């Protein structure tokens, strides 16, 4: 395998750099006098100076000795500044967008997807270009410490037409989202102008616009404003300048070419071409250096890597004694053994309210019959919901609609406010998906049923008419989980008495995304799973400002730990491990607060780990030996995509794992599948808390295997997912709550009662 990471080589491990004590005034003075030849950056209480091309001037500071890796933050800054200045010297006509991550647009005509579709007067004023991005990282791959550049490619819209020009052309700007463009002091022709999303245009007076902002109506010159580069804004302007059909053609071209750009083999070759252009001159390595003797080369070849450990598909367990197991397909185990909790599951004869259009009753009842009893000729769904999940009887109460509006559904629901069914299956039209959240009957119906503490399964009209064994199989799995069932579990770690994996999700409540928005609040979600993957409970944390989020989370965690300790009869002296799967990096103060929380339970021996699981990171894995998998006459899929479970440790706290390999990709159109990043968070800086250090759990190999195993617990499908159930569940809950929050009469606190243990969100 290879990584999109290009290693840096140095001649010496120790180097000399000039330094002076930090003050804001001194930093400003140095940059004002010497910025054309020197770079200045702050680190702690010192300013460090890199002389790129000026005369030696010992008066600027005193020389200090540093080590490449021991003083890695200073080394990183030095590398970035030398690379930036070298780039500007070699490519004086290029203006980078950002200093870090370092970004710039390709100037090759073929890298602008829409160039050939535009008239001459719009070429390069509107474009959809490749944007090259570089990030510097220190790594410890395969036991070797090194620095290197991560190379990435994106495609972004360019719009170099200000609002004054558009207004003079007669384009209607009222109501448009706009950006304020400002050239930062001292960065003329060095970095692209800064763009900030400030609001929408309310009215125009002469050459100025009145803009709705978070500070009320504000006046801005039109020539300092540009449209926000959204699909709506750009398509509106293109339709105005050209025609609606031309605009549609341009966006279709973007979609088609973007799909091609996701091909892994082509992307890998693009990275290598970029590296050769940036790090070599006609294939001769460039020496990046300053006048103080600090120098380095960057490899034109990406780093070759291999699996750090072997990640295994977990064993699936179907009985509490762990005598009924499968090591391959969880679905096969269900067919052979039934669900894990078959003996203890207490809804053996679920009453199901089924609602459909009167005109569809025949097809709907056929669907329900197949769902309950199965398809005799099927391999995977021969038994049906009832026998496959060891239910005694599934009783359908079918009600008909005369229309698809919310009132028609509500009229039926009102009859069940006292005698509540265990579950509802509701037919909805396919076009509900296209409606906005607030007026969509889908969310209103879901909110009503959940307020009555009834899980609901929506089935589209199209699916009812065209269902098969695979769709029925997935729906039955979801239904059993929504009823509170546990289809299977995973082996638990025997080295601890208790292990709880806690997924922490969130959703933002924003008035808008304008600059200066200070009314953002966050809804916290926690999901608790046992070490073997059993869903214990889910909890909603009240809406709070972000800075108060962690305190509210801790209250919820404390109450949940108390509840679980009683339900599971924990004993004094039990060892307990808490693994937090989180959505954001943790600050040192939050480590201390968790340590304080743990100190409130002295009767247990508790260790914990904060683990961030992210799809948003710069690393990409390629496997040149993967020739692709034949799609039954539809060509190959998954070329250059590593196998699922391929894993590389980036350092002692960070790993990347490929979750979708060539086999798991549905079609070649799915393109690239990036790995997820797993990082064990640790206190940063000079944080000294010996009691906390004794509480932390650091085993990255164990954490990675656990995260991988938990991707087999989604219960939305039998196929493994990209994210572990902890994060998937928390994010599904957060997304649904954010969409239902403005529905009249909806009370999300209902979910903290009887629905707490059911997977109602699947």
For residue 591, give the CATH number of its domain.
3.30.420.10
**pLDDT single digits (tens) 26-37:** 988 888 888 888
**pTM of the predicted structure, to 2 decimals:** 0.88
Do 235 and 378 fall into the same domain?
A: no
Do 542 and 691 fall into the same domain?
A: yes
Question: What pLDDT shows up at residue 750?
Answer: 66
Do 56 and 124 fall into the same domain?
A: yes
Question: What pLDDT shows up at residue 261?
Answer: 60
Do 545 and 503 fall into the same domain?
A: yes
Do 292 and 367 fall into the same domain?
A: no
Nearest by Cα to 135 from 105, 106, 102, 104? 102
Do 749 and 657 fall into the same domain?
A: no
Nearest by Cα to 532 from 576, 488, 570, 489? 489
Gap between the Cα atoms of 67 and 82, Å rounded: 17
Do 552 and 697 fall into the same domain?
A: yes
Gap between the Cα atoms of 18 and 292, Å rounded: 9
Give whole-number Cα distances, 644 to 302, 368, 511, in Å.
Answer: 21, 36, 40
- 3-state per-residue secondary structure call for 212-252: EECCEEEEEEHHHEEECCCHHHHHHHHHHHCCHHHHHHHHH
Do 193 and 120 fall into the same domain?
A: yes
Task: Count how many domains the chain has.
Answer: 4
640 domain residue, yes or no: yes
Gap between the Cα atoms of 293 and 175, Å rounded: 55
Do 85 and 51 fall into the same domain?
A: yes
Do 592 and 713 fall into the same domain?
A: yes
Question: Which residue among 264, 298, 332 closes a domain?
Answer: 298
563 domain residue, yes or no: yes
**pLDDT single digits (tens) 301-345:** 999 999 999 999 999 999 998 899 998 889 999 999 999 999 999
Judge contact between 224 and 242, C-beta under 8 A: no
Question: Which residue among 674, 698, 715 closes a domain?
Answer: 674
Judge contact between 707 and 678, C-beta under 8 A: yes
Q: What is the CATH number of the domain that holds 441?
A: 3.40.50.2300
Helix (H) or strand (E) holding 408: helix 406-413
Question: What pLDDT shows up at residue 515?
Answer: 57
* Domain enclosing residue 457, as ranges: 346-482
Question: What pLDDT shows up at residue 475?
Answer: 95
> Span 625-642, mean pLDDT?
81
190 domain residue, yes or no: yes
Q: Is 173 exposed, middle or buried (0-12, 13-18, 19+ CB in 10 A)?
A: buried
Task: Tell me the three state secondary structure of residue 649.
Answer: strand
Question: What pLDDT shows up at residue 194?
Answer: 84
Residue 462: alpha-carbon gap to chain centroid: 30
Q: Between residues 628 and 603, which one has the greater pLDDT?
A: 603
660 domain residue, yes or no: yes
> Which tokens go with 13?
């491990």
- Evaluate if residue 752 carries a pLDDT over 70: no
Gap between the Cα atoms of 623 and 643, Å rounded: 8
692 domain residue, yes or no: yes
Do 467 and 532 fall into the same domain?
A: no
747 domain residue, yes or no: yes
319 domain residue, yes or no: no
**pLDDT single digits (tens) 688-723:** 666 677 788 889 999 999 999 999 988 888 988 888
Do 109 and 151 fall into the same domain?
A: yes
**pLDDT single digits (tens) 121-147:** 998 899 999 999 999 999 999 999 999
306 domain residue, yes or no: no
**pLDDT single digits (tens) 446-460:** 888 888 889 999 999
> Which residues contact residue 439 at a Cβ distance below 8 angstroms, ignoring those fewer than 6 apart?
none
Task: Tell me the three state secondary structure of residue 675.
Answer: coil
């Amino acid at each position: 395998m290879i990584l999109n990471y290009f290693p840096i080589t140095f001649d010496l491990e120790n180097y000399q750099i000039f330094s002076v004590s930090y003050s804001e005034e001194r930093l400003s003075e140095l940059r004002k006098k010497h910025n054309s030849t020197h770079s200045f950056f702050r680190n702690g209480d010192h300013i460090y100076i890199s002389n790129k091309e000026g005369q030696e001037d010992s008066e600027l500071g005193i020389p200090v000795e540093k080590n490449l890796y021991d003083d890695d933050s200073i080394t990183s800054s030095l590398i970035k500044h030398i690379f930036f200045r070298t780039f500007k010297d070699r490519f004086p006509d290029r203006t980078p967008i950002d200093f870090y991550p370092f970004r710039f647009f390709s100037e090759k005509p073929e890298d602008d997807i829409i160039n050939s579709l535009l008239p001459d007067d719009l070429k390069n004023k509107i474009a959809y270009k490749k944007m090259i991005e570089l990030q510097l990282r220190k790594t410890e791959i395969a036991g070797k410490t090194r620095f290197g550049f991560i190379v990435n490619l994106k495609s972004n819209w360019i719009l170099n037409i200000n609002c004054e020009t558009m207004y003079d052309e007669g384009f209607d700007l009222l109501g448009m989202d706009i950006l304020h463009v400002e050239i930062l002091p001292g960065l003329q022709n060095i970095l692209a102008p800064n763009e900030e999303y400030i609001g929408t245009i309310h009215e125009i007076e002469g050459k100025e616009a009145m803009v709705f902002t978070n500070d009320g109506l504000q006046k801005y010159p039109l020539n300092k404003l540009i449209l926000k580069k959204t699909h709506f804004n750009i398509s509106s302007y293109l339709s105005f300048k050209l025609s609606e059909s031309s605009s549609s053609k341009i966006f279709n071209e973007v979609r088609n070419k973007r799909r091609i750009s996701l091909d892994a083999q082509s992307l890998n070759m693009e990275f290598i071409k970029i590296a050769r252009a940036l790090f070599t001159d006609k294939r001769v390595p460039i020496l990046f250096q300053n006048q103080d003797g600090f120098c380095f080369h960057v490899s034109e070849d990406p780093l070759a890597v291999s699996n750090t450990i072997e990640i295994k598909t977990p064993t699936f367990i179907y009985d509490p004694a762990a005598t009924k197991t499968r090591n391959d397909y969880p679905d096969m185990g269900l067919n052979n053994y039934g669900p894990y909790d078959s003996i203890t599951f207490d809804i053996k004869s679920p009453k199901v309210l089924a609602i459909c259009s009167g005109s569809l009753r025949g097809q709907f009842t056929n669907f329900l019959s197949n769902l309950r009893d199965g398809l005799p000729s099927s391999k995977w769904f021969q038994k049906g919901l009832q026998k496959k999940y060891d239910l005694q009887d599934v009783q359908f109460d079918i009600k008909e609609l005369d229309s698809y509006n919310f009132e028609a559904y509500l009229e039926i629901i009102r009859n069940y406010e006292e005698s509540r069914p265990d579950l509802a299956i509701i037919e909805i039209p396919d076009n509900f998906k296209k409606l906005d959240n607030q007026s969509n009957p889908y969310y209103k119906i879901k909110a009503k049923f959940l307020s009555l503490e009834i899980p609901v399964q929506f089935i589209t009209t199209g699916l009812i008419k065209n269902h098969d064994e695979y769709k029925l199989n997935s729906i039955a799995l979801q239904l059993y989980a929504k009823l509170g069932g546990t289809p299977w579990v995973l082996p638990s770690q025997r080295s601890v008495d208790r292990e709880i994996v806690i997924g922490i999700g969130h959703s933002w409540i924003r008035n808008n995304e304008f600059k200066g928005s200070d009314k953002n609040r966050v809804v916290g979600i926690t999901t608790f799973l046992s070490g073997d993957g059993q869903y214990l409970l889910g909890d909603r944390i009240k809406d709070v400002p972000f800075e108060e989020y962690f305190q509210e989370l801790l209250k919820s965690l404390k109450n949940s730990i108390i509840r679980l300790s009683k339900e599971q009869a924990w004993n004094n002296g039990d060892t307990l491990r808490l693994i937090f799967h989180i959505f954001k990096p943790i600050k040192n103060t939050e480590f201390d607060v968790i340590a304080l929380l743990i100190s409130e339970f002295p009767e247990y021996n508790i260790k914990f780990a904060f683990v961030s699981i992210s799809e948003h990171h710069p690393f990409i894995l390629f496997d040149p030996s993967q020739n692709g998998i034949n799609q039954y006459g539809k060509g190959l899929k998954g070329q250059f995509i590593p196998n699922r479970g391929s894993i590389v440790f980036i350092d002692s706290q960070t790993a990347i794992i490929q979750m979708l390999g060539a086999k798991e990709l549905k079609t070649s159109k799915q393109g690239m599948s990036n790995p997820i990043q797993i990082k064990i968070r640790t206190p940063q800086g000079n944080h000294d808390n010996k009691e906390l250090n004794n509480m932390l759990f650091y085993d990255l190999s164990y954490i990675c295997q656990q995260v991988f195993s938990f991707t087999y617990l989604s219960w939305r499908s039998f196929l493994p997912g990209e994210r572990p159930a902890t994060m998937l569940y928390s994010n599904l809950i957060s997304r649904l709550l954010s969409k239902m929050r403005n529905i009249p009469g909806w009370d999300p606190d209902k979910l903290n009662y009887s629905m707490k243990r059911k997977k109602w969100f699947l």
